[in-house]
Amino acid sequence: MVMNKTEYKKLQITEVIKMLENDFKAEFTGDDEGGCLGLELNGFYGELSRRDFGVYFWDTTSLSGNGWNYDEIKRQKDAVALEVEVNESIQSLLNYMRYLEPAE
CA dist list (Å): 39 to 7, 8, 36, 71: 23, 23, 9, 22
Of the pLDDT bands very low, low, confident and very high (cuts 50, 70, 90), residue 30 is: confident
- Between 80 and 7, the higher pLDDT residue: 80
Sequence letter at residue 53: F
pLDDT of residue 3: 80
What whole-number distance in Å separates Cα of residue 76 and Cα of residue 63? 8
Interacting residues of 44 by C-beta distance below 8 A, sequence separation 6+: 57, 58, 59, 78, 79, 82
The average pLDDT across 14-34 equals 91
Q: b/e for 14-39, b at 16 or more Cβ within 10 A?
A: ebbbebbeeebebebeeeeeeebbeb
pLDDT of residue 104: 60
Percent of the chain topping pLDDT 90: 77
At 38, is the secondary structure helix, strand, or coil? strand
